[in-house]
Amino acid sequence: MRMSKMLIPTLREVPAEAEINSHKLMLRAGLMRRIASGVYAYLPLGFRTFKKIEQIIREEMDRENAQELVMSALIPAESYKETGRWDIFGPEMFRLKDRGNRDFCLGPTHEEIFTQTVKSGVKSYKNLPMTLYQIQTKYRDERRPRFGVMRCREFVMKDAYSFDKDEAGLDESYQAMYRAYSKIFDRCKLDYTVVEADSGAMGGSGSQEFMVKSEIGEAQIAYCESCGYAANDEKAECLEPVFNNDKELLSMEEVKTPNVKTIEQLCEFFNCEATNFAKTLIYKADDVIIAAIVRGDRELNETKLQNYLGCNELEMADDETVYKVTNAKVGFAGPIGLSIKIVADLEVKGMVNFITGANNTGYHYNNVNIDRDTKNLEFVDIRTITLGDHCPKCKNEISIARGIEVGHIFKLGDKYTKALDCTYLDQNGRSQTMLMGCYGIGVGRTMASIIEQNNDESGIIWPMAVTPYQVIIIPINISNEIQASMAEQLYNSLQDEGIEVLFDDRKERPGVKFNDAELIGIPLRITVGKKASEGIVEYKIRKTGDMDEIDIKKVIARVKSDILAY
């Protein structure tokens, strides 16, 4: 393609809207533009890469015998009402009405639609297993769209759904998707980790996330260098510590602590560390009020707590409720004398002579000891893993990193098939509920992640597999006839070989062309300059910066071998 004819609006300066590298580069390299918050258009260069990623996904999905189709994005409410998700999605779902005042939404995810489709099309065990997928636009009215295309409100997702006769079949379908995903992200040259993820209170026997390690990732993951264990922080298990309590138990006392509520204030007041406190949080779990206790410096993990309680909804109780159950204002809750269910973190079991709220506004208890002073505590792992914790598998020190979730595979079990009565007839003619899995990849997010991991001060460094063009030809001086005609010829013959080539035939100075070529990240660059008259061109590799001069006759062979070897 001739650059003089293309829409590649590169920017010299970084638009104020971007904060992270990939977002800045996508804007600067002219790959995309914002239409609204969390809504983006892909420009020609960006769209080429986008399509290449889609194609990689397609090939690997097809290889595992998944079938591509496309559902509508516009979906009638009934589909979601049957599973209850019309209400569960809440304001995150884009809703609209047709002229007859019927409810519709723009699909945020398609479990219902796929299930209905399979329900009406598949009746016999002979047709199972079956995996269907689509690459399609999704709509979610996120509270906070972020980082450009990383978290947005309109985004393209490859979503796949598997349908199986039984658990063993589901396992196989799930493993097939695991293989496909690994190949997809390998081919995209992403450095990723597969982590165990929480599969929620709603059942489902397994879930893993494909995480691209990055400081800008929104998810926190815990991993073990020695045994390879990796899980996201909602899931990562905290081991029960080994307690060695040889301290003398002091007698409990009530201390007047007016206006001392937060852990920080308490540390100052008592002149001690946050580890000396047990923090008591009051939660509302499906209308039941419960208390949860973690050490003062720890973070409660709501997912773990929710899973333990088996509730559908979990939220912090409001001030009024706290007052009602603890008989004190917020900030003075504690386990002693509470008559509600109390769930304490495993670690709390070993605390001695600690400080906690007295369930009395303005008072705390000091020197509290679990066995002596409290009763009916349930000890469960409910805190979030952190540095200093140990690997639940091999007990070595755990490491913490941030990650971008680019893919998620999930065993749903019968959650949707049961609700929508999606059944098949088995060998004996008996009706059975199908088991389902769902599998997603964010295409735009994958693209941004590739850029996040492959760039330098000059711009993007595309992996060969997803680059918008493989080669760029830069004639130094387009008005020099020798250079112009050599570049033109080279352009034609590379194209004849089926190579994707950009021809910078713009009347720009060399510096501008070089900078643009590096910014947009084309892997191979051929410069036709002074030595054109001797039949020599300059050849540069973006990734390594390696540069040499080669004979024009050898260029095509060199390009071909570099494309393969890149």
Contacting residues toward RNA, per CB under 7 A: 10-17, 19, 34, 36-38, 92, 109, 143-147, 157, 159, 200, 218, 302, 408, 410, 438, 440, 442, 458, 476-477, 479, 507, 509-512, 514-516, 518-519, 527-531, 538, 540
Give the H/E segment covering residue 46. helix 44-63
Q: How far is the CB of 174 from RNA (least distance, A)?
A: 15
Q: Which is nearer to RNA, 387 or 564 (CB)?
A: 387
Burial code (b: 16+ CB inside 10 Å, e: under 16) for 279-304 equals bbbbbbbeeebbbbbbbbebebbbbb
How many CB atoms within 10 Å of residue 312? 12
Q: Which is nearer to RNA, 241 or 545 (CB)?
A: 545
Residue written as tokens 């997912």? 303
Residue 287 CA to residue 391 CA, distance in Å, equals 35
Contacts of residue 216, defined as CB under 8 A and 6 or more positions apart, other chains included, come to 20, 21, 147, 150, 402, 404, 452
Q: How far is the CB of 476 from RNA (least distance, A)?
A: 4
Q: Which is nearer to RNA, 302 or 500 (CB)?
A: 302
Q: Which is nearer to RNA, 11 or 74 (CB)?
A: 11
Strand partners, 342: 291, 377
Q: Which is nearer to RNA, 364 or 513 (CB)?
A: 513
Q: Which of 393, 399, 394 is nearest to 221 (CA)?
A: 399
How many CB atoms within 10 Å of residue 433? 15
Q: Which is nearer to RNA, 112 or 373 (CB)?
A: 112
Q: How far is the CB of 519 from RNA (least distance, A)?
A: 5
Q: How far is the CB of 120 from RNA (least distance, A)?
A: 22
Q: Which is nearer to RNA, 141 or 426 (CB)?
A: 141
Q: How far is the CB of 162 from RNA (least distance, A)?
A: 14
Q: How far is the CB of 303 from RNA (least distance, A)?
A: 8
Q: How far is the CB of 351 from RNA (least distance, A)?
A: 24
Q: Which is nearer to RNA, 503 or 514 (CB)?
A: 514
Alpha carbon separation from 405 to 128, 149, 198, 211, 212 (Å, rounded): 30, 13, 13, 5, 6
Q: Which of 548, 432, 453, 467 is nearest to 122 (CA)?
A: 432
Q: How far is the CB of 24 from RNA (least distance, A)?
A: 11
Q: How far is the CB of 477 from RNA (least distance, A)?
A: 4
The set of long-range contacts for 125-129, using a CB threshold of 8 Å and a minimum separation of 24, is: 125/165, 125/424, 125/425, 125/426, 125/427, 125/432, 127/424, 128/163, 128/164, 128/165, 128/169, 128/424, 128/434, 129/162, 129/163, 129/164, 129/165, 129/169, 129/172, 129/173
Q: Radius of gyration of the chain from Cα atoms?
A: 29
Q: How far is the CB of 344 from RNA (least distance, A)?
A: 19
Q: Which of 518, 469, 473 is nearest to 491 (CA)?
A: 473
Torsion of CA 138, 143, 149, 155, to 10 degrees: 0
Q: How far is the CB of 25 from RNA (least distance, A)?
A: 11
Residue 9 CA to residue 43 CA, distance in Å, equals 9
Q: Which is nearer to RNA, 9 or 337 (CB)?
A: 9
Q: Which is nearer to RNA, 38 or 392 (CB)?
A: 38
How many CB atoms within 10 Å of residue 372? 12
Q: Which of 105, 54, 86, 304 is nearest to 199 (CA)?
A: 304
Alpha carbon separation from 499 to 48, 432, 490, 493 (Å, rounded): 14, 52, 11, 9
Q: Which is nearer to RNA, 119 or 408 (CB)?
A: 408
Q: How far is the CB of 447 from RNA (least distance, A)?
A: 15
Task: Answer for the pair 170, 409: CB distance below 8 angstroms, yes or no.
Answer: no
Q: Which is nearer to RNA, 101 or 479 (CB)?
A: 479
Helix, strand or coil, per DSSP, at residue 56: helix
How many CB atoms within 10 Å of residue 316? 15
